[in-house]
Amino acid sequence: MFEQKIRVTSGIPYLDALTSGGFIRGTTNLVIGPAGAGKTIFGLHFLFEGARRNENGLLVAMQEPPWAIRRDASGFSFFDPSFFAEPQKITMLDFTPSGWELWDPDSLTYAEESELMIEAEGVPYDETSLPTFLHKIFYHISQVVEEKKIERIVIDPLAAFQFYDYGNDSGFLRKLTTGFLANIAALNVTTVAISELAGSMDHSLFGEEYIADSIINLDMLSVRGETIRILRISKMRGTNHTTKTLRFEINNHGITFLDSDND
């Protein structure tokens, strides 16, 4: 007897209709694209829809601080400020470079035997090294997931990892990134990880597409002087999904597909 797949809505109705109801609960899902393609807005759709369904969410801010993300999100119709009031439906952690400096080191105590304690030649184990940074992030995420009963996580973006010391070893950086996502997946929450393109629409910076259960590609094209936004699902395990390239726009409702009545 096959185990029933429980679906978790993306918060974008037309996309859910084309993916058998959304993401599979407990999976890790990658949203990749260039700057300005709508990746953060996608993550916000996911979190706010979860909050409306009484599913607590966590936004791990790695590049843009939480206050700026909230400011930008307030312009969309799906924004609800009550989700940030106690009891919080959406928790935001500031792991941007400026926010990280504000953390109390004593609040990030961790077990020495953690799987993320990875060392490599040329990568010192100290407060500035990427293994230390990822270890502490994961520890704090796991604590919040348990305390707040988190069911949805958005990590925005994974690309911020490249700005920390990793000994200029791209292979080691990939190993750390995929290891970090594997540890997040073990928390059994549904995750949307946001990343950047590495030069083509199908490849992210760190090879994390190989561990992701689904990959949603966002891109922007210039057609006769007009910018067109497109979405394509290149991978979604265990799901009968569309293979079409879908056109969308970003308006006060967030992501709105232009092809929604044209199946």
Give the pLDDT score at 2: 41
Give the pLDDT score at 222: 87
Work out the burial of residue 227: count CB atoms within 10 Å of its CB; fewer than 13 is exposed, 13-18 middle, 19 or more buried: exposed
Residue 36 has pLDDT above 60, yes or no: yes
Residue 81 has pLDDT above 70, yes or no: yes
Tokens representing 146 are 């348990």
Mean pLDDT of 138-166: 87
Nearest to 183 by CA among 147, 140, 123: 140
Q: Which domain covers residue 71, as residue numbers?
A: 7-257
SS3 214: strand
What confidence tens digit (pLDDT) does each residue in 199-226 have? 544 556 566 777 899 999 999 998 888 9
CB 242 within 8 A of CB 233: yes
2 belongs to a structural domain: no
Strands 7-8 and 23-24, by their bridges, are: antiparallel
Beta bridge partners of 220: 229
1 belongs to a structural domain: no
Q: What is the mean pLDDT of the chain?
A: 83
| Cα–Cα dist 47/89, whole Å | 9
Residue 6 has pLDDT above 60, yes or no: yes
Beta bridge partners of 165: 129
Q: Which one is predicted more confidently, 108 or 35?
A: 35
CATH number of the domain at 237, please. 3.40.50.300
224 belongs to a structural domain: yes
For the chain, what is the largest distance between any 2 Cα atoms, rounded to a whole number of angstroms?
57
- Percent of the chain topping pLDDT 70: 77
Structurally, the chain folds into a number of domains equal to 1
166 belongs to a structural domain: yes
262 belongs to a structural domain: no
Q: How far is CA 183 from each of CA 51, 177, 213, 222, 250, rounded to the nearest angstrom?
A: 24, 10, 14, 39, 33
